[in-house]
Structure 1
Amino acid sequence: MRKLSIIGMPMDLGQMRRGVDMGPSAIRYAGIYEKLKMLFDKIHDMGDIQIGRPETKVDAESNLRNLELVAEKSELLAREVDKIIETGAFPLVLGGDHSIAIGTLAGVSKHYKNLGVIWYDAHGDLNTAETSPSGNIHGMPLAVSLGLGHELLTGIGGFSPKVKPENIVLIGIRALDQGEKDLIRKLGIKVYTMHEVDRLGMTRVMEETISHLKERTDGVHLSLDLDGLDPVDAPGVGTPVTGGISYRESHLAMEMLAESGIVTSAEFVEVNPILDEKNKTAMAAVALMSSLLGDKLL
């Protein structure tokens, strides 16, 4: 039996722009349940993790914004994702800013010896408190999942690291801070910047990604930030970067992942309806989720 569980993580604590907490609602409004119920024998929308309306706090020692709150809420998400996998369902997490990946990966990775991660994003999200220009935790979740960063974040789920550098593939990257560049080189993380996407084409990028991860992983998590797409196709994001992946290229990527059968969990993040145009970005997210999970034209 093919089962799917959807959970919303309406958290905007990892950055400064309000509105991304309404991402899960926007995605639901765009018809995610109706679109996916045809693809699964059983589908369950679990609702949202309760975040509340906490005031922004900056940790005096680390200069990280909302450190304790992000850690607390990430722990809640990790537990829920863990439970979903225990039931044999595919976990689909709706964000929220990209700091939610800290909790998602903590919940997913305990079920795999060699979890693979596809990070589909304009940004590397590989900063730490020492390298971050802003102190925003949504720029740190991949570093945290590698075991790099504040112990309140790296220790979520009771173990660290959640993923090995050789099991990560970044796709669509076009904005990196210097510390992230240095870390990518140091750890030898596989990256397809927009230069490679343009030069090789999305078909080859995905063929190489799938081949690389199939060889060394026993499960693959897709973390898709809608700012990986070009702002023309996904305007409702907090940190848009021009020159991104097209809507059609993204569909091809998702379709190829569906055909490969390697993806075992996913999250779609950074949909901000306040910045959007007629819910265009949420509708793009729903269409891409549908392709990832097996929807076909014929």
Structure 2
Amino acid sequence: MVKFSFLQPGKPAVFKDRFVTKVNEQLIPYSEGETGEIGLIGLPYSKTSISLSQASDAPKTIRASLSSFSTFSGERDRDYEDVKILDFGDVQTHPTEMEESIDRLHISVREMLEKDACQRYIMLGGDHGVSYPSIRAFKEHYGEIGVIQWDAHHDVRNLDDGGRTNGTPFRSLIDGGHLKGENLAQIGIRDYANAKEYHSYTIEKGISVYTMEDVEQKGILPIIERELERLSKLVDVIYLSVDMDVVDQAFAPGCPAIGPGGITSRELLASISTAASHEKVKGMDIVEIDPSKDFRDMTSRLAAAAMLRFMYN
């Protein structure tokens, strides 16, 4: 006679330690009137990628990677199990129309912000093209916006050779009047990864550019602190845009545009912690992870760790 059943219909067979709270357990589907500390939305779009990319699959992979982390920080001797993460789900993009999809992303981020349900927000891409509609929504909601961009590339390509792509978000924002050049700081720009024309564009528009040589010589944390102080005097809100290809390929193999000579995973996490500690930082996007190119979800797990550094601050 069977006294106990170990069948769990509809539930995964996952070990549960009664003393451990995993970060994924904090995700709460948003419902009208609900409030929390962090708002989360997926922007699963990668059809604007210059190279073949399945970055549209990244939001679900990054969410799943949150189960690898607990809410307790031993370094701070603090448990963040009471932090509520409201999940607004993933935006349904159009199957074929690019501009329609960009509009949907813009409308959805704006709608999330208008709920006024959270203190800070995380947008999970998708390729870097999703930053264009997302940052526009933040600008419209909060006012003058400043951006700190972690990236190997300037992402200010011309729009004549293919329209809006994952290489054009900051050109689109600046030329469209949504972002002033002097309110953009680019960190981790890699050598032999950009064209002279786009280097000249950053100078013309007054963009603050920090190359990997700058990171090596000055250190990434002093650079972040300097830009936070500078931008906070110019803008109402600061937005962090994290292109994961800023990280060296040894630590982030799941990026479509991997390359050597990038920052380490520790530099990424430490710099996000420093940036997120500023009161004017309200949003962060994480982009350019292709789970199909990843190894044991290394890149998605690093993105999840970056989320923790942003949320638990």
Shorter-chain TM-score bucket reads 0.7 to 0.9
CA drift of 1:202 comes to 1.2
Matched, 1:255 2:273: yes
TM-score by length of 1: 0.83
| 2:38 equivalent in structure 1 | 4
CA drift of 1:244 comes to 0.4
**Aligned-residue CA RMSD (Å):** 2.2
Distance 2:83 2:102 in 1: 29
- Per residue, is there more helix in 1 or in 2? 1
Q: Does the C-alpha gap of structure 1 residues 164 and 283 become closer, same or farther in structure 2, counting only changes over 3 Å? A: same
**SS state of the match for residue 233, structure 2?**
helix
Aligned pair partner of 1:146 in 164, 174, 198: 174
CA drift of 1:26 comes to 1.0
CA drift of 1:41 comes to 4.5
Matched, 1:240 2:269: no
Matched, 1:171 2:187: yes
Name which one, 1 or 2, has greater alpha-carbon Rg: 2
Q: Does the C-alpha gap of structure 1 residues 179 and 288 become closer, same or farther in structure 2, counting only changes over 3 Å? A: same
**SS state of the match for residue 99, structure 1?**
helix
Q: Does the C-alpha gap of structure 1 residues 79 and 5 become closer, same or farther in structure 2, counting only changes over 3 Å? A: same
**SS state of the match for residue 111, structure 1?**
helix
Q: Does structure 2 conserve the Cα–Cα contact (< 8 Å) formed by 1:230 and 1:245?
A: yes
Matched, 1:103 2:138: no
| 1:198 equivalent in structure 2 | 216
Matched, 1:124 2:154: yes
**SS state of the match for residue 142, structure 2?**
coil
Q: Does structure 2 conserve the Cα–Cα contact (< 8 Å) formed by 1:74 and 1:104?
A: no
Distance 1:187 1:106 in 2: 18
Deviations 1:74-94 (A, max 9, x none): 211111111222222222111
Aligned length in residues: 267
**SS state of the match for residue 169, structure 1?**
strand
Matched, 1:78 2:140: no
Instruction: After superposing the two structures, state which structure 1 stretch, 30-39 or 4-13, moved more.
Output: 30-39
CA drift of 1:274 comes to 0.7
Q: Which amino acid aligns with 1:165?
A: G
**SS state of the match for residue 222, structure 1?**
strand
CA drift of 1:178 comes to 2.4
Provide structure 1 residue ranges, at least 5 long, that are not aligned to the other structure.
55-68, 148-159
Q: Does structure 1 conserve the Cα–Cα contact (< 8 Å) formed by 2:43 and 2:91?
A: yes
Aligned pair partner of 2:232 in 170, 195, 214: 214
Percent identity of equivalent pairs: 28
Q: Does the C-alpha gap of structure 1 residues 287 and 5 become closer, same or farther in structure 2, counting only changes over 3 Å? A: same
CA drift of 1:42 comes to 3.4
